Chains A and B, each alone.
Chain A
Amino acid sequence: MKVFLTLIKKEFWHVLRDKRSLVILLGLPIVMMLLFGFALTNEVKNSEVLILDFSKDQASQTLIDRIDHSEYFSIAGNLSSEKEIVSSFRKGKSRLAIIFPQDFQNSISHEKKAQIRLVADASDPNTANIVINYASAIIRDYQNELNEEKKLPYTINLETKMLYNPQLKSAFNFVPGVMTLIMMLLGAMMTSVSIVREKETGTMEVLLVSPMKPILVVLSKAIPYLLLCFTDIILILLMAVFVLGMTIQGSLVLLLAESILFIITTLSLGLLISTIASTQQIAMFISLVALMLPSLIFSGFMFPIENMPIPLQVISNLIPTKWYYSIVRSVMVKGLGFEYVIKPTLILIAMTLAYLFIAIKKFKIRLA
């Protein structure tokens, strides 16, 4: 046990002395969170809206005020003809124009039926969709209020509700994604590189000749990185809550426990890579190409798995990130309890054991 502590102490020295790696280890999650939180967001905020109001009555004014006051829009100006819409869009500043027909209020109160036209610049289809959805939601709210006042019979009120993420905040999507990627990158790459480095410098040989059990040598590598990855998880969660204003819906303990499980999964993957790779470059290459790319593609973080062709969906099941990502989303965003994540948890445990089994077998073969 004391020998083990000696080994762990040495690993910490390595990690702490290597300033560059340390900066990567602790800086990467912060940078990624800030990037995804503020730069790479697909939320639309303060989008400029043009108003073409032919009725200029109380109803249209109320709606315009509401739109202006929402955090998604700001009114950029009032137009006087439809032609101006196209020329404004060409200038590229506004993406949405709202057109109120003549007698808007009258139509509502007498004909019980009024029309509003939304015109969006769909040269960027995603943004156009999002802007249209936001605007429709505001208009629908207004309509619902009117209906309550009047108690109109026989009206079907369509009420859409975005469960778990009512404001459609992208943080709910990317925070679990960032956690997954960071763990995969740091856990697997750092461990494999640090083991392979010992092979390269010949120190592994000396350790193996010593009375130390090989398994302890390997375990001692994993523990500092386990702690570091765990620190990163805490860092990401703190930023999610205090910088991005996200709330953790489910049990924090469950979330952290599942995270530790996933860190162990990635560490075993790193161990497996280290038994294959003979140089640090190869270890890094395998981690990046064989782990990061599939993780990015198949975790469901960037591209919805449901839309993939069946063979790719099958492949995605083999990627551990997919399961961790789904666990984090269930616990953190949906607030589900352990009983809902048993299946992915068991799959992760099974994968971890499989990696460890193969890694230890390969490790022994190299010794014999």
Chain B
Amino acid sequence: MTDTVIHTNGLTRKFGDFIAVNAISFEVKKGEIFGFLGANGAGKTTAMKILCGLLSPSSGEAKVAGYDVYTQNESIKKHIGYMSQKFSLYENLKVRENIKFYGGIYGLRGADLNQKTEQLINRLGLENEADKLVGSLPLGWKQKIAFSVAILHKPKIVFLDEPTGGVDPVTRRQFWDLIYEAANEGITVFVTTHYMDEAEYCDRVSIMVDGSIAALDTPEKLKEQFKTNSMEGVFLQLARNAKRSE
């Protein structure tokens, strides 16, 4: 059990008569890169919001980092990182200020915060850009900074909501190097994406269709199971049967 960082069982969320998330059950292990796929409207975002402690479920159980989503969502928030597809940095703050701000939000301060900030700047090779406004940086850099900021406080899990939207393939590949690095350090990565090549990079992939998990396994086994040679093939076979869209 100590290795399980996310555990859900029959997790359901309804909005009125609409069942956005329908009894999903899965487990994510420590240090795993877990791909969370699904067409638009399949319920990914709702499920992710529940796991981040932003929404409470209608029924079922879910534990994140060992904390219950019903009663301990404040504790959950302390142990997770989050990065959205908008990269969510403050454009009119300097790189260093952004890092310090987000670190401060997660309770890092003083010498510890300064040290971590400088370490991060060095690791990303941003020494010359540290005092530039984030707004003036290219998209790929913003994305790297946003991700590094999301794991600055060493969370147990980092949630990435379509983290590579609008970024070119080379930068995307570099970004995945950062993800692997984080996973090697023991941070669990929970990532949603629309790019099927990225799905191949994940340790395990779940595909949601109409609020339920239609498939969950390693990319290799999924391809075997659906008798196709790419994740795209798997995804299309499942998504074609979807009743909901947008």
Contacts and interface: CB of A to CB of B under 8 A. Distances in A.
B68 interface: no
Nearest to B110: A2
Nearest to B146: A206
Contacts of B106: 210-211
A209 B82 contact: yes
Given A13-B97, A202-B84, A368-B55, A207 B90 contact: no
B244 interface: no
Interface stretch (B32-40, B72-80, B124-132, B223-231): B72-80
B70 interface: no
A3 B113 CA distance: 13
A2 B107 CA distance: 8
A7 B97 CA distance: 12
A3 B86 contact: no
Contact of A6 (B55, B84, B88, B101): B101
Q: Is the interface of A mostly helix, strand, loop or mixed?
A: helix
A18 B107 CA distance: 27
Interface in B107-154: 107, 109, 133, 150
Interface string A127-155: 00000000000000000000000000000
A368 B104 CA distance: 26
Contacts of B87: 202
Interface string A11-33: 00110011000000000000000
Contacts of B78: 211
A211 B101 contact: no
A202 B165 CA distance: 14
Interface string A334-368: 00000000000000000000000000000000011
Contacts of B102: 206, 210
A201 interface: yes
A202 B105 contact: no
B90 A14 contact: yes
A103 interface: no
B89 interface: yes
Nearest to B48: A209
A86 interface: no
A208 interface: yes
A206 B78 CA distance: 12
B230 to A, nearest CB: 31
Contact of B80 (A7, A17, A209): A209
Contacts of A6: 100-101, 104-105, 109
Interface in B36-66: 52-56
Nearest to B91: A201
A368 B133 CA distance: 34
B215 to A, nearest CB: 27
A245 B133 CA distance: 45
B91 A209 contact: no
Interface residues of A, number: 23
Contacts of A13: 90, 92-93, 97
Given A6-B104, A13-B92, A201 B86 contact: yes
B90 A203 contact: yes
Interface residues of B, number: 33
B53 A209 contact: yes
Contacts of A208: 54
A13 B101 CA distance: 11
A213 B105 CA distance: 10
Q: Which of A13, A205, A208 has the most CB of B within 10 A?
A: A205
Q: Which of A18, A202, A212 has the most CB of B within 10 A?
A: A202
A10 interface: yes
Contact of B109 (A2, A18, A367): A2
Contacts of B109: 2, 6
Contact of B105 (A17, A210, A367): A210
Contact of A3 (B77, B93, B105): B105
B108 to A, nearest CB: 10
Nearest to B159: A209
A9 B90 CA distance: 13
Given A18-B92, A201-B86, A202-B87, A209 B77 contact: yes
A14 B135 CA distance: 13
Interface in A194-231: 201-203, 205-212
A13 B89 CA distance: 14
Contacts of A203: 88-90
A207 B92 contact: no
A208 B88 CA distance: 12
A211 B78 CA distance: 5
Contacts of A209: 52-54, 77, 80, 82, 159
A258 to B, nearest CB: 34
A259 to B, nearest CB: 29
Contact of A10 (B91, B93, B150): B93
Contacts of B74: 211
Contacts of B89: 203
A7 B78 CA distance: 17
A206 B88 contact: yes
A97 to B, nearest CB: 62
Given A6-B105, A208-B54, A209-B53, 14 more contacts: A3-B104, A3-B107, A6-B100, A13-B90, A13-B93, A14-B93, A18-B92, A203-B88, A206-B84, A209-B82, A209-B159, A210-B82, A211-B107, A368-B56
10 contacts: A3-B107, A7-B105, A10-B101, A13-B92, A202-B87, A206-B84, A206-B102, A209-B159, A210-B106, A368-B56
Nearest first, the 8 closest Cβ-Cβ pairs linking A and B are A202-B86, A6-B104, A209-B82, A202-B88, A211-B77, A206-B88, A17-B92, A211-B78
